[in-house]
Structure 1
Amino acid sequence: MLEQGFLFGFLGLGVLITFRFFRFPDLTAEGSYPLGGAVAAALLVSGVHPVAATLSAALAGAGAGMVTALIHTKLKINNIVAGIVVMTALYSVNLRIMGRANIPLLREPTVFGEAVGWLNGFGLGWRENVYTTILVAFVLLVAAGALLVWFFSTDLGLAVRATGQNEPMILSLGVDTDRTKMVGLALSNAFIAVSGALVAQNHGFADIGMGIGILVTGAAAVLIGEAIFGDRGILTWVVAAVVGVVIYRLLVALALRVGLEPVDLRLVTAALLLMALAVPRFRPRLLR
C-alpha cells in the first residue's frame, strides 16, 4: 500500500494542480502518464542513467502539458477538448517512443537501485526491496511536495493559482494568463509523467495501456484527501493529495483482499470517487 501510494503520490500532486488550482479537467494525464513510462523505459534500455531517464520523462510530460495549454489558449479550444486531442495524439507518440506496446525493464537499473547503491557507499549494506523502495519514494515525494509548496508561494505560483480561481481579476491586473496556464499545465503533467516513470521502473515494464483511467484515480485520491483534511491552504492540499492516494491504494487492496476480482477495480474506483464527492455535502449535517 505504501509503496504504490508513494509512487502514485506524484500523480496526485499533478492532478491537484489542474483539478483543484485550475479547475481544469486535464485529460492530457491519460497520455502523459504512459509518456513518462515510455520515455524512461526507452532511455533505460538504451543505457541512459535512471536519474537522467526519469528527469527526461518529467520534461516530456511538461512538453505535453504545454501543448495542451497552447491549443487551449492560442486556438481557443475548450479545455476538455484540448486535453482529448493531446491524449489521443500521445497514444501514437508513446508507441513510436517504445517501438512496441510493452518494454520489459526487469534487467535494467532503476532509480531505486541507484539510490540503494548510493546509500551503501556509507557502509549500510542495504539491498533493493520493498522497504528501500518505500523509503526512496517517500524522500522523493517529500522533496516534490516541498518544491510545490515553495513554488505556489512565489509571485509566479500565486499568479498561476489566481488564474484558476479568478481569471478575469488576474487579467485586469495585467497578468499574462496564457503564460500562467502553460506553466501550470506543464508542471502538472511533469509530475504525472514522473509518476509513470517511477511506476514503470518499480513494476519492471512500461505498457502503452498503463494510463487508462489514471485521471479518475488521481481525482479520486485528491477528493478523498480533501474530504478528510478540508480546504485549508496549499500545504494542506499537498498533504491531503498524498494521503488521499495512500488511502485510495489501501481501499483498493482491501477490495482485492475481500475477494473482488481485478476486473472490478474500475467499479471500486467509481464508488470511491462518488463517496469522496458526497462526503463534503453531508459533513455539515454530521457535525450538527
Structure 2
Amino acid sequence: MVSSIAFFGAVESGLLFGLVAFGVFIAFRVLDFPDLTVDGSFPLGAAVAATLIVTGWNPWLATAMAMVAGCMAGVVTAWLNVRLQILNLLASILTMIALYSINLRIMGKPNVALLGDETVFTPFENWDIPFYLINPIILSGFVLVVYLLFVRFMTSELGLAMRATGVNDKMARANGVHTGRLTILGVALANGMVGLAGALFAQSQGTADVTMGVGTIVIGLAAVIGGEAILSTRTIARWIFACLVGAILYRLAIAVALNADWIGLKAQDLNLITAVLVTLAIVIPRMKLLKRKGGRA
C-alpha cells in the first residue's frame, strides 16, 4: 500500500513533470522536433531560480527569470537547426552538453540549497491543512493556468500555423508561414515550460543540483505517450490534458512499484521501472491497434 505522504508526493511530482510533458508535447508532437535540450533546461531553470533566490531576489521574479532562461536555451537549439542547418537532434545534444557547464557557472558549485529561503510556496505554509497537501494544491493552480494559456495559444492563429509547420513545413511555407521563426518560437516555448518546471521543482525540494535533469526527456516522453494511450486526443485540449494525466499516472506507477514489498524493488531500480513503463506505453497501443485491424479483417 502507498501511504498518503507517498501518494500526494507522487501527485506533486506528476504535476511538476506535467509541465515538462507540455514542453515535450510541443517539440515532439506539434513541431516534430526531437529535442533533448530538456535534460539541460530543467536543471537550468532550477539553477537560475535557486541562485537568484539565495541572492535575495523575489521568488516569483526568480521563477519568471528561470522560464526566460529555459526559453533562451530553446532559442539556441532551434537557431542551430534553422540558421546553421545542424540536424535538430544533434543541435539539441550540443545545447544540452553546453548547459551542463553553464549550470555549473550559474550556481558556482554542483548544488544550491534553499533551506530557510523564501520560495513561492512559503506564503502558503501556514495553511491549516496537512503539510503534504500544500504543494500539490499550489502546483495544481500553476499547472491549471499554464494549461489554459497553452490551449488558448494552440488554438490561436499562431498556434495553428505552428501545428501546420510540424505537419508539413513545405506546405506551410507555400501558404506564407515563416516556418523557421515558428520553429524557434516553439522550441523556445517548450524549453521555457521545462525551465519553469525545474524552478518549481527546486523550490519544492529545497535544492537545485546540476545532475537533476538526467532522464527528464524520458519522463516527458513517458507522460506524453502514456497519456495518449489512455485518453482521447481528438481535440488539442484533450491531447494536452492527456499529457498531464500521463505525467501524474507515471509518477503514481513509480510510487506504487517502489512501495510494493512483494515486488521487491528499491530506489536504485527507478531507471529500470522507467524503461519498463515507457516500453509498455509504446507497445500496448500498437497491440490494441493490431488487434482491432485483425478483428475487422
Shift of 1:106: 1.3
Partner of residue 187, structure 1: 189
CA distance, structure 2, for counterparts of residue 42 and residue 94 of structure 1: 10
Partner SS, residue 56 of structure 2: coil
**Map of 2:151 onto structure 1:** 149
Contact 2:17-2:219 at 8 Å conserved across structures: no
- Structure 1 residue 195: Cα displacement: 0.6
Please give the secondary structure, in 1, of the residue aligned with 2:118: coil
TM-score (norm 1): 0.94
Q: Give the whole-Å Cα distance in 2 for the aligned partners of 1:43 and 1:144.
A: 23
Residues 233 and 242, structure 2, Cα contact 8 Å, conserved in 1: no
Partner Cα distance (2:132, 2:224) in 1: 25
What count of residue pairs does the alignment treat as equivalent?
A: 281
Q: Provide structure 2 residue ranges, at least 5 long, that are not aligned to the other structure.
A: 1-9
Q: 1:284 offset after TM fit, Å?
A: 3.0
1:62 to 71, 82, 88: 71
Residue 44 of structure 1: CA displacement?
A: 0.6
Partner residue of 1:237 out of 236, 239, 256: 239
Aligned to 2:24: 15
- Distance in 1 (alpha carbons) for counterparts of 2:134 and 2:69: 27
SS in 2 for 1:206: strand
CA contact (8 A) 1:221 1:248 kept: yes
Q: Structure 1 stretches of 5 or more lacking a match? A: none
The one of 270, 276, 282 aligned to 1:277: 282
Identity %: 44
Match of 1:199 among 201, 206, 217: 201
Equivalent-residue separation in structure 1 for 2:180 and 2:238 (angstroms): 27
1:106-185 matched pairs, under 5 angstroms = 106-114=115-123, 116=124, 125-126=127-128, 129-185=131-187
Question: Counterpart in 1 of 2:88?
Answer: 79
Counterpart contact for 1:33–1:195, Cα < 8 Å: yes
Asked if structure 1 preserves the Cα contact closer than 8 Å seen for 2:103 and 2:210, the reply is: yes
| 2:39/2:217 contact within 8 Å kept | yes
Deviations along 1:42-67, one digit per CA (max 9) or x if unpaired, are 00101111110110000000000001
Q: In the alignment, what sits opposite 2:99?
A: 90
In the alignment, residue 195 of structure 2 is paired with which amino acid? A
Q: Output the CA distance in 1 between the equivalents of 2:227 and 2:116.
A: 36
Contact 1:44 1:53 in 2 (8 A): yes
Partner Cα separation in structure 1 for residue 224 and residue 96 of structure 2: 21
TM-score by length of 2: 0.91
Q: CA deviation at 1:3?
A: 1.3
Is 1:265 the counterpart of 2:270? The answer is yes
> Secondary structure at 1:111's aligned position in 2?
coil
For 1:109 and 1:174, locate their aligned partners in 2 and report how far apart those are by CA, in whole Å: 48
Residue 71 of structure 2 contacts residue 188 of structure 2 at CA under 8 Å; is this kept in 1? yes
Amino acid at match of 2:279: L
Cα RMSD (Å) of the superposition?
A: 1.4
AA partner of residue 75 (structure 1): L
Select which of 218, 221, 234 maps to 1:219.
221
Report Cα offsets for 1:90-137 as digits up to 9, x if no partner: 0010000000001011111111123x27xx7xxxx5478221211110
